[in-house]
Amino acid sequence: MQIIWKALATGLFISYLPALVIPFKKNTGAGFLGTLWGIPLVYYLFPTDYIGYLVVLLLFWVFSVVVCKQVKFPNFKGHDNPKIVIDEIAGYATAMLFLPRTWGYFVAAFVLFRTFDTIKPLFVKTFDKMESAVGVVFDDVAAGLLANITIQIFIVISKLF
């Protein structure tokens, strides 16, 4: 069963790819790849209607926390293994909430989400400090929420001018 949890947590093992290329680098780029993996998942698996998307997103958050609680990585100390990328997928899906599915929005959500996930402003850092599966997932959800709010503000301002 542990192999299934690992497959789900690592985006079908996509997070192992950077380690094969650069085995001793601390920042492996797995979060970047996990976020990239979020684009086709959002595009193909999340409903296009807002209510359906929100329901699937909420279920995905719960699913992500369960996966993070279940997966085990031997010889890893800490709560947020960089191999886990399901949290990046959840964060990216949050960034795309209520947004049109155009490449401009996919890219804007990607860039803003990665930025907020990296610098961890405001309440994002609070979740990041939580040493639990909830913290692993919800620091990315919070970063996605900030990305989404930023894009929504831009949309409102652009309509004013």
Q: Give the position of tokens 């990665």.
A: 114
How far apart CA 141 and CA 120 sit, in angstroms, is: 11
How is 66-134 classified by DSSP, letter by letter? HHHHH---TT--SS--TT--HHHHHHHHHHTTT---SHHHHHHHHHHHHHHHHH--TTHHHHHH--SHH
pLDDT tens profile 28-39? 678 888 899 999
CA 65 to chain centre: 12
- CB-facing half-sphere around the CA of 39: CA atoms within 13 A: 16
- Mean pLDDT in the chain? 88
How far apart CA 134 and CA 62 sit, in angstroms, is: 9
Check residue 27 and give its pLDDT: 56
Check residue 24 and give its pLDDT: 47
Say whether pLDDT at 155 is over 70. Answer: yes
Residue of 16, 12, 4 whose CA lies nearest to 40 = 12
Claim: this prediction has a pTM higher than 0.85: yes
* Cβ-based burial of 6 (10 A; exposed 0-12, middle 13-18, buried ≥19): buried
pLDDT tens profile 84-138? 899 999 999 999 999 999 999 999 999 999 999 989 988 888 877 878 888 889 9
pLDDT tens profile 50-84? 999 999 999 999 999 999 988 887 665 556 777 88
Domain residues for the domain of 45 are: 2-160
Check residue 100 and give its pLDDT: 95
Say whether pLDDT at 9 is over 50. Answer: yes
Say whether pLDDT at 18 is over 90. Answer: no
Say whether pLDDT at 21 is over 70. Answer: no
Q: Which long-range contacts (CB under 8 A, 24 or more apart) does 50-59 make?
A: 50/98, 53/97, 53/98, 54/97, 57/93, 57/94, 57/97
How far apart CA 62 and CA 157 sit, in angstroms, is: 33
Domain tally for the chain? 1
Say whether pLDDT at 147 is over 60. Answer: yes
